[in-house]
Amino acid sequence: MAESLKTWQDVAAGRGEYSVELNGQGYPAAWDLEVAGGGETGLDVSSSTDKSVDIDRAWRKGVWDELFRRGFGKDYMRFMDCEEKGYTLKCDDCGYERAKIFFCGLRICPECARRFAGSLFHQIMDIVGEINANRKRGWSIKLITLTLKKGEGWPDMHQLRAMVKAMGRYLPELWNSYLREDGAGAVASMEIGPSGNVHAHLVYYGPFIPKKELSQRWSEITGGSYILDLEMITGGKGVWEATKYACKMRALSPGQVVDVYEALKGARRVRCYGVFYNRVVVHPECPCPECGGTSWTFGGWLTQEEFKANFGGAGDRGG
Ligand SMILES: [Zn+2]
Ligand SMILES: [Zn+2]
Q: Compute the distance from residue 25 Cα to the ligand 2 centre, in Å.
A: 14
**Average pLDDT, integer, range 30-36:** 34
Q: Compute the distance from residue 11 Cα to the ligand 2 centre, in Å.
A: 34
Ligand nearest to the CA of 289: 2
Q: What percent of the chain has pLDDT over 70?
A: 77
Q: Compute the distance from residue 259 Cα to the ligand 2 centre, in Å.
A: 42
Q: Compute the distance from residue 29 Cα to the ligand 1 centre, in Å.
A: 12
Q: Compute the distance from residue 52 Cα to the ligand 1 centre, in Å.
A: 10
Task: Report residue 199 CA to chain centroid gap.
Answer: 15
CA distance 198 to 203: 17
Whole-structure pTM value: 0.76
Q: Compute the distance from residue 78 Cα to the ligand 2 centre, in Å.
A: 28
Sheet containing strand 198-206, strands side by side: 227-232, 140-147, 198-206, 185-192, 270-274
Selection from 167, 170, 193, 186 nearest residue 245 by Cα? 193
Residue scoring higher pLDDT (35 or 106): 106
CA distance 191 to 147: 10
Query: Mind listing the pLDDT tens digit for each residue in 47-75?
Result: 333 344 455 778 889 999 999 999 888 78
C-alpha angle with apex 275: 271 to 281, nearest 5 degrees?
45
Ligand nearest to the CA of 297: 2
Ligand nearest to the CA of 112: 1
Selection from 283, 265, 314 nearest residue 99 by Cα? 314
pLDDT confidence tier of residue 214, bands split at 50, 70 and 90: very high
CA distance 257 to 253: 6
Q: What percent of the chain has pLDDT over 90?
A: 30
Query: Mind listing the pLDDT tens digit for each residue in 241-289?
Result: 777 765 567 788 899 999 999 998 888 878 899 999 888 776 666 778 8
Exposure string over 139-172, b if 16+ CB within 10 A, otherwise e: ebbbbbbbbbebeeebbebebbbebbebbbebbe
Q: Compute the distance from residue 235 Cα to the ligand 1 centre, in Å.
A: 28
